[in-house]
Structure 1
Amino acid sequence: MVVQTAPRLYSIEEYLTLEESAEYRSEYRNGEIVPMTGGSINHNQIMINLIIALGLALRQQDYLVYTSDLRLWIPRYREYTYPDVLIIKDEPIFQEGRTDTVINPSLIFEILSKSTSSRDRGDKFTYYRSIPEFQEYILIDQYQFHIEQFSKTSEGNWLFKESDDEDGVLTLASANCQIPHRQIYERVKFENEPE
């Protein structure tokens, strides 16, 4: 008979203390500390492409673009996470007592991997929707041309669009910004996955 022990639960204060001296980042999920997986070369290339494109497209607007080094606190679900790319309209609002953790993203981009796609599409999207300022969610596949876009309407509903079009353009609904798909996937090499 195998006896499973419950995972140790940590307080928010314990997590933040551990995270400050950790060699790698971890998410906090309502008491559990979950190490983050490393990114692939495609993941990194897409993130770089996004940062460059968004930074240039939004430089004359009231939006700030941040990478996965900035932590996000989602109080309703007691979750700390590190979105791949997040955009904040106007100025960041920090969690009380912190200068490294924000609470007000307008747009979030996640680059999907086999190990994260279910969570990014499921729980994370549910959690992100609890943020009042959150308006748009973009999921980018790193293995093929495929972009999913969720945009919040003025009535509070979410519209879904997706595209596999290499010549398509991602038009952000909540910011005056268009990025060609080829720019997002520039220098990304798709390889056949082993069977």
Structure 2
Amino acid sequence: MKVRVEKADAYFYPDVMVTCNPKDQANTLYKQHPVFIAEVLSPSTEAFDRGNKFNAYRQLDCLKTYWLIDTQAMRIDSFTRTQNDDWLLHSYTKADEIVEIKGIEVQCLLKELYEGTLPN
């Protein structure tokens, strides 16, 4: 499913997106009100995901949390929108650390997200 960022006149295909807005239920082509977006990083897309794409996503007033998920190491860079409309970075790197998705109140251990994906 793609997300439309109207203010940036752009569409993207995020790896994971959560929307709770009823306006998004009727549209089967794209969503416009995600509260959470995650991108799984690859060497060819990492710079774009961290740069221009995140710049566009920040223009979504509804977006509360943006994750960049590393595929080479157990690490998630979580950007959370503050009340002042700033973005706070927290990097999750410890296997037993509880990761949280603000806006939808989901929590789990970092190692659970990576189960079966990284060599021991």
TM-score (norm 2): 0.90
Q: Within 5 A, what are the aligned runs for 1:19-168?
A: 70-93=1-24, 99-168=28-97
Other-structure match for 1:59: none
Other-structure match for 1:170: 99
Task: Answer yes or no: is the 8 Å Cα contact 2:21–2:33 preserved in 1.
Answer: no
Identity of aligned residues (%): 28
* Structure 1 unpaired stretches of 5+: 1-69
Indicate the SS of the match to 1:106.
strand
TM-score (norm 1): 0.57
Counterpart Cα distance in 1 of 2:5 and 2:100: 26
Give the letter aligned to residue 20 of structure 2.
K
* Structure 2 unpaired stretches of 5+: none
Paired residues, number: 120
Deviations along 1:126-185, whole A, 9 cap, x unmatched?
A: 100111111110111011101101101112111110022112111122222111111100
Tell which deviates more after alignment, 131-140 or 70-79.
70-79
Other-structure match for 1:43: none
Other-structure match for 1:53: none
Give the letter aligned to residue 145 of structure 1.
M
Q: CA RMSD in A?
A: 1.9
The CA deviation at 1:120 is: 0.6
Counterpart Cα distance in 2 of 1:111 and 1:190: 17
Counterpart Cα distance in 2 of 1:94 and 1:74: 17
Tell which deviates more after alignment, 143-152 or 166-175.
166-175
Counterpart Cα distance in 2 of 1:189 and 1:159: 27
Structure with greater helix share of residues: 1
Structure with greater strand share of residues: 2
* Equivalent position to 1:183, from 100, 112, 115: 112
Structure 1: which 4+ aligned runs deviate by more than 3 Å? none
